Amino acid sequence: MAGAEAIRAVMRGEVRGVGFRDATVRLARELAVMGWVRHGEDGTVQVHAEGDPTAVGQLMGYLGQGPPGARVAGVETEQVAVEGHEQFAIRGASAGVFVVQEHAATAHHFDLRLEVGGVMRSWAVPKGLSLDPAVKRFAVEVPDHDVEHNTFEGTLGGGGVIVWDRGTYEQGGRVAWPEALDRGHAVFVLRGEKLRGGFALQRTRPGAKAQWLLIKRRDADARPGSDIVAERPDSVLSGRTLGEILNDA
């Protein structure tokens, strides 16, 4: 946006437990300001706001007071680069559940499923996910699954399934979901038992059975050189491996 400005603000004081994030999102959306709000690890509320300078200024004025019940002791602001956000989002909040199921079928693979709009958007990942940011894992988009399937473990059509990992996830990026998926670039943060931190899904070929690359982002949860699939083959549900499930069948 021409003439746009971007500001980072950190609010200290009694700013938590008073609906600060929700109130900030509401006002930012009214003002057509883009960016995000999140809780800092030190009890602060942090905001990235970008857009028309007048509107950003209005939002900043509000952040100095906060919603009823807040007592803002101080605000630190810093002018930063405009990043091109297309939404104003709450960061650090769960968007739903995720599951990775290891699946012995005609071809062995892992199914990554993310809860989006009440269904599990799904990708078959032949080699599974990696915590090594240098590794790009090929993934094929497959039909949505019901949330009820997330806990399925056992034999299935001559093969079998284990719940290899599960947890909640956070939607990231500058574009709101599900549009981010529609456009073919979606960033998300997993909070599972094995998989943690930021990941990116990048579509390389659209259409039916769209092809994607799944990449670990470089953050504190990245583990260069690691192979989590080999290190942790056990089900997070039963502790059993897929091989054990198949041998007992």
Verify binding: residue 194, Mn ion, rule CB under 5 A: no
Closest distance between Mn ion and the C-beta of residue 138, in Å? 14
Stretch that binds Mn ion, among 104-112, 127-135, 174-182, 226-234 (CB under 5 A): 104-112
85 vs 103, which CB is nearer to Mn ion?
A: 103
Nearer to Mn ion, 51 or 192 (CB): 192
Any idea what DSSP says for residue 191? Answer: E
The separation between CA 67 and the C-alpha centre of its own chain, rounded to angstroms, equals: 27
CA proximity to 8, closest of 92, 82, 68, 72:
82
The residue to which tokens 């600060």 are assigned: 20
Least separation in angstroms between residue 109's CB and Mn ion is 6
| Residue with the CB atom nearest Mn ion in the bound state | 103
Q: How far is the CB of 32 from Mn ion (least distance, A)?
A: 42
CB nearer to Mn ion: give 175 or 236: 236
Beta strands 88-90; 34-39: pairing state: parallel
The Cα 93–Cα 99 span in angstroms is: 17
- State which amino acid sits at residue 57: G
Q: How far is the CB of 190 from Mn ion (least distance, A)?
A: 19
Find the binding residues for Mn ion in span 110-149 (CB under 5 A): 111
Contact status: 165 vs Mn ion (CB under 5 A): no
Q: Which residues contact 30 (CB under 8 A, 6 or more apart)?
A: none
Q: Is 5 in the site for Mn ion (CB under 5 A)?
A: no
Distances (CA, A) of 1 to 34, 87, 111, 238: 11, 14, 39, 52
Choose, by CB under 5 A, the member of 48, 85, 103, 166 that binds Mn ion: 103
Which residues in this chain contact Mn ion in the complex, by CB under 5 A? 103, 111
